[in-house]
Amino acid sequence: MAWPRLYKAYRKPASVEVDRIDKVVADLGRQRVDELTHADLVAAANRMLPGRAPATLNRWVLRPAAAILHYAAENKYCEWLRVKLFEEPRPETRAARPATIAKLFDRTEGRQRLLVMWLYYQGTRITQTLSVDWPHVDLERAAFSFYDKKARRWQEFPLHADVLELLLLVPEAERVGRVFPWGDRHNVYRWLRPLVRELKITFTPHMARHALGTRLNADGAGLRTIMGALGHQDPRSSLRYQAAETEVVRAATAKIPRLRISGKKAANP
């Protein structure tokens, strides 16, 4: 197939997406793009990843295939094919509890403590967090930035006051290179997972990200604010934090001005 190559030259996708495209192309072989059907894609997904969850099949097979097919259709090479994704269960929001963060904070120090605080208040993904370097941390403006490979652009975020306080404690001589020394998330998990087991708590860095989205929603932040805080480009990514709990709805509706009702009884229908 020539179209996957043309699509990659046009879109310049991230390496993980290139890997997915190459695997799909390898499975489908030399089958012509204009001959592919939705059933062919479903069969390929089940061959490549037998027994895997619908979300995995969509992410690794159907979405990459759909992107190529739609690009080919836009260039009049084939008819538009509607690629229906496997039905996925609604994603659940697993937010870290403040008490959990407090336990971790009490048992850590130095850069470990800074990382726990950063994840909870800034909500950046662990890989993004570990990529932040000191030249892109502006302590005077209380802001930081990093290059988002997925969005292909630089993003700037405000620093929370508690995170800023810990950053200011780092000696100036040590403010070089990356803010955090572990390189990748696997090195973080080497000390984080044993600590979590010892404390008998449930925590992952991504749960801290969920906690930020959930707190913002509970405090009445709008969708655009949550998208900005979490660096989301697609509103659907932020909507999972918009599931209003009963007490959140109660607090919101309580703000609606009360009607002035006269003492007359309403007429029976």
CATH class of 98-251: mainly alpha
Q: What is the pLDDT of residue 146?
A: 84
Q: What is the pLDDT of residue 267?
A: 44
Q: How far is CA 11 from CA 7, 8, 22, 150, 151, in A?
A: 6, 5, 14, 12, 12
Banded model confidence at residue 176, pLDDT cuts 50, 70, 90: very high
The side-by-side arrangement of strands in the sheet containing 137-138 is: 137-138, 143-148, 153-158
Instruction: Tell whether pTM > 0.85.
Output: no
Between 112 and 154, where is the model more confident? 112
User: Alpha-carbon distance 236 to 141, whole Å?
Assistant: 31
Tokens linked to 190: 């080497």
Write down the domain spans for the chain: 3-74, 98-251
Q: Tens of pLDDT along 79-100?
A: 888 899 998 876 555 788 889 9
Is a pLDDT exceeding 50 seen at residue 251? yes
- Give me the residues paired with residue 148 across strands: 153
Q: Is 155:231 a contact under the CB 8 Å cutoff?
A: yes
